[in-house]
Chains A and B, each alone.
Chain A
């Protein structure tokens, strides 16, 4: 196989690496109760919220950074991170016109349609720039059907009863080191509530952008789908190229009541660092969905191409009887990226079902690990799980690893796990070449074919972006 073509194919540069020069207001680096008070004050939060944060901070101080993941990185100095950075802006924006034009340009460059008139794709967007939600589009249309879609800060102000009830109900601050940190310092994120019986008319989307240097991004997303409702939510992320490592420790909580359905898609494209592994985002994220009600369904779909280190396990707690959890993932690592990602499916209710399809592609000198837990609790009669994790290796310097954990405490459960590792065969390329398909097209076809089962699960709007991203991420790595 001509390795030059493959080399080219996997070595394209990160194209979202620009940096917007925008005036920002930041807290001094470091973390202390004072910084937390500062954040809380900046956001004009009620007293109970501050208490929650301080409680989480106390807990965080007693916790140790976890090191069980199959990743390597120098120790993080949590006191050198800036925990709050926001674009300086006029308070109380009335409309999009008042948003800093530099900011809008940034989003335009990223191809995110913030202007409503331009938003033909019909996606309601909440854009988070550094730590603060900048703008949320299509608010009115959503309000008509009773859907609440706003930034987390707004939700704390306007819907405290919902926030109080659900915040931390799926991912308590004591869950792990990073959730405690997030609960203490989170600055913004999206909040979404779909009332009973409503099928959300639009795809909801949040776009996260880290811009300022030396900052960490700690967003918090909470989605509640009440009885019989449906929502599809998409999330995208990018960051400028910098030669330092930035920390991103987000928490996402989903709650699905009886007969409700949440579809959560992510395209994670944080800056992955350069070829030598310098810089890039540490993406240490906790995502968990609770199928609280009967017949509820939560589905995670993720395309992970960015970040120098990914540590992420979107999970489902299948508590309601007949509830369904799904996880579809494509994780691509190139150069010196490291990914340890997978899912947890905890079956508690009867006849609960989960499906895991994970596709890992490693290229360059990267390490790509799947780590997943399927746990069938005692009461989960008739639970079913099917897991499939396939890895593809491009080049002989990379690694692909699989660490599934299966714990079964109920004999009526049926659990299946399959894994395979392969590479792009020379015979496959030869077959395509013979039929007039150039090598690079052939590689692209094979990669898409490999990921097909996941890509078809993506929301329409994301599918195109995902396909493009696949090609970019792998340029120059096939050999």
Chain B
């Protein structure tokens, strides 16, 4: 991403809070193996600072409110959080291995203690030597650099060769009122070796309406012929800022799917980079944003076809009510070597209110000649004819509206392989928009 190249004339004092938080994070890490990469990230961050809308990659999302936010590093010891507190975020019938972070700090009592065959779960704060930062997002994105420099704890899941993990992992990043005005940098590394299979669900949630800044970084390294399914469910406080960075590196013949469900937050930006490095691989990247009020969600994705004969499918949908604003910037890059690429991208927006707005940039950059690449974007409202059809068959207005909204979302949801999660997301849509399930 080009975001790093330019700098702005920032008055160093304006981001005093950032420096304080960075110092605090460093002190908390102590002598960690992670320090080298954190220091490097800090140096990168000092050069680029917060991006401005003058940068093409940030044209539609202004981070000024974040820069002026005055956040501090979350307290090291969170108040006791009980099972009841996190109950609403536990997906019914999922029976997952739970990993819980409260205000960015690992919560041992609530997390899974069971030994999972074929998976080694490591924590940064526990002195893990896991290769955090291996995909190098901190070198390309300003917020990823900031997040890396602020990291005090993280979790890595390493799935050994040939291991098939049947139960999903569920990482819950919850922010309590104690985390108000804090900045958290959750970090997750999924390293799936050859022929392994794992499903990871990450929830970014908060118990109450508080203002904070969350900068999650996710790294997924999928080995040859591995199957990795990653789902992110984000339903944070309406005052929260959320800037995430996810990088996927995929080997030969594997299949990686990532789903991003955005419901909460005041300002949300998801940066996704899919580096398709193994021929014969299949990559799926789907997203669903359901917004209301004055929420702003920006999904910026890059699907980079590096090797030949890879298929990628990207499908982002958005439902925008009230004065919400959606942004989608999706780039597909096909390198000269990546012949026989099959790339498909689509972005569809449903505007439910006259004040909602969307900006979409589906971009193709193609250097190979034997490829099939298509992208499509549509923007519209609920179809009057469909509405009429339903109403003339005795379906009430609200119910019909619910039908159509769920039908719109279903295209993204049907590719969700975890049925309890799919139902959980469906319920979240109904709840958020006040429509029939």
A residues apposed to B, CB below 8 Å: 68, 376, 378, 391, 393-423
Q: Does B421 contact A (CB under 8 A)?
A: no
| Interface residue count on the B side (C-beta < 8 Å) | 34
| Chain B minimum-CB-distance residue to A391 | B366
Min CB gap A264→B, angstroms: 27
Q: Does B69 contact A (CB under 8 A)?
A: no
A402 to B330, CA, bound (A): 11
A395 to B375, CA, bound (A): 22
Residues of chain B with a CB closer than 8 A to A398's CB: 367, 369
A397 to B362, CA, bound (A): 23
- Check B368 against A396 for contact (C-beta < 8 Å): yes
A314 to B56, CA, bound (A): 21
**Which secondary structure dominates where chain B touches chain A?**
strand
Q: Does B356 contact A (CB under 8 A)?
A: yes
Min CB gap A127→B, angstroms: 40
Supply 25 A–B pairs (Cβ within 8 Å), ascending by A: A68-B56, A391-B364, A391-B366, A393-B369, A396-B368, A399-B366, A401-B364, A404-B363, A404-B377, A406-B379, A407-B357, A407-B360, A408-B349, A409-B357, A411-B352, A414-B379, A415-B380, A417-B360, A417-B362, A419-B375, A419-B376, A420-B372, A421-B373, A422-B372, A423-B370
Residues of chain A with a CB closer than 8 A to B354's CB: 378, 410-412
Q: Does B419 contact A (CB under 8 A)?
A: no
Q: Does B374 contact A (CB under 8 A)?
A: yes
- Check B364 against A400 for contact (C-beta < 8 Å): yes
| Contact A399 to B367, CB < 8 A, known contacts A404-B362, A405-B359, A412-B381 | yes
Residues of chain B with a CB closer than 8 A to A402's CB: 362-365, 375
- Check A406 against B374 for contact (C-beta < 8 Å): no
Binary per-residue interface labels of chain B (374-388) against chain A in the complex, 1 for a CB within 8 Å, 0 otherwise: 111111110000000
Those 10 A-B pairs whose CB atoms lie nearest each other, nearest first: A411-B351, A393-B369, A402-B364, A417-B377, A415-B379, A409-B357, A421-B373, A406-B360, A408-B379, A411-B381
| Chain A minimum-CB-distance residue to B343 | A421
| Contact A420 to B374, CB < 8 A, known contacts A401-B365, A406-B359 | yes
- Check B366 against A400 for contact (C-beta < 8 Å): yes
Residues of chain A with a CB closer than 8 A to B365's CB: 399, 401-402
A414 to B380, CA, bound (A): 5
Residues of chain A with a CB closer than 8 A to B369's CB: 393-396, 398, 423
Task: Count chain A CB atoms within 10 A of each CB in B364, B373, B378 and give the residue with the most.
Answer: B364
Residues of chain B with a CB closer than 8 A to A422's CB: 372
Q: Does B336 contact A (CB under 8 A)?
A: yes
Residues of chain B with a CB closer than 8 A to A412's CB: 354, 381
B residues apposed to A, CB below 8 Å: 56, 336, 339, 349, 351-354, 356-381
A395 to B370, CA, bound (A): 9
- Check B379 against A419 for contact (C-beta < 8 Å): no
- Check A411 against B368 for contact (C-beta < 8 Å): no
- Given contacts A407-B360, A409-B357, 15 further A-B pairs with CB under 8 A are A391-B364, A394-B369, A396-B368, A400-B364, A405-B361, A407-B358, A408-B359, A411-B351, A416-B378, A417-B362, A418-B374, A420-B372, A421-B372, A422-B372, A423-B369
| Contact A419 to B364, CB < 8 A, known contacts A398-B369, A402-B375 | yes
Partner of A404, one of B336, B361, B373: B361
Residues of chain A with a CB closer than 8 A to B381's CB: 411-412
Residues of chain B with a CB closer than 8 A to A401's CB: 363-366
Min CB gap B427→A, angstroms: 25
A232 to B234, CA, bound (A): 55
| Chain B minimum-CB-distance residue to A412 | B381
| Chain A minimum-CB-distance residue to B352 | A411
Residues of chain B with a CB closer than 8 A to A423's CB: 369-370
- Check A420 against B373 for contact (C-beta < 8 Å): yes
Residues of chain B with a CB closer than 8 A to A417's CB: 360, 362, 375-378
A393 to B359, CA, bound (A): 29
A376 to B56, CA, bound (A): 20
Min CB gap B13→A, angstroms: 28
Min CB gap A393→B, angstroms: 4
A400 to B374, CA, bound (A): 12
A333 to B370, CA, bound (A): 18
- Check B377 against A408 for contact (C-beta < 8 Å): no
A402 to B375, CA, bound (A): 10
A272 to B238, CA, bound (A): 54
Residues of chain A with a CB closer than 8 A to B356's CB: 411
- Check B359 against A419 for contact (C-beta < 8 Å): no
- Check A406 against B361 for contact (C-beta < 8 Å): yes
| Chain B minimum-CB-distance residue to A70 | B365
Residues of chain B with a CB closer than 8 A to A396's CB: 336, 339, 367-370
Residues of chain B with a CB closer than 8 A to A415's CB: 377-380
- Check B351 against A408 for contact (C-beta < 8 Å): yes
A414 to B361, CA, bound (A): 16
Residues of chain B with a CB closer than 8 A to A420's CB: 372-374
A405 to B360, CA, bound (A): 6
Min CB gap A162→B, angstroms: 38
| Contact A421 to B364, CB < 8 A, known contacts A393-B369, A398-B369, A408-B358 | yes
| Chain A minimum-CB-distance residue to B333 | A401
| Chain B minimum-CB-distance residue to A388 | B376
| Contact A403 to B363, CB < 8 A, known contacts A68-B56, A422-B372 | yes
Partner of B377, one of A378, A397, A406, A421: A406
Min CB gap B7→A, angstroms: 16
- Check A393 against B366 for contact (C-beta < 8 Å): yes
- Check A407 against B359 for contact (C-beta < 8 Å): yes
Residues of chain A with a CB closer than 8 A to B372's CB: 420-422
A400 to B368, CA, bound (A): 9
Task: Count chain B CB atoms within 10 A of each CB in A395, A407, A423 and give the residue with the most.
Answer: A407
Min CB gap A397→B, angstroms: 8
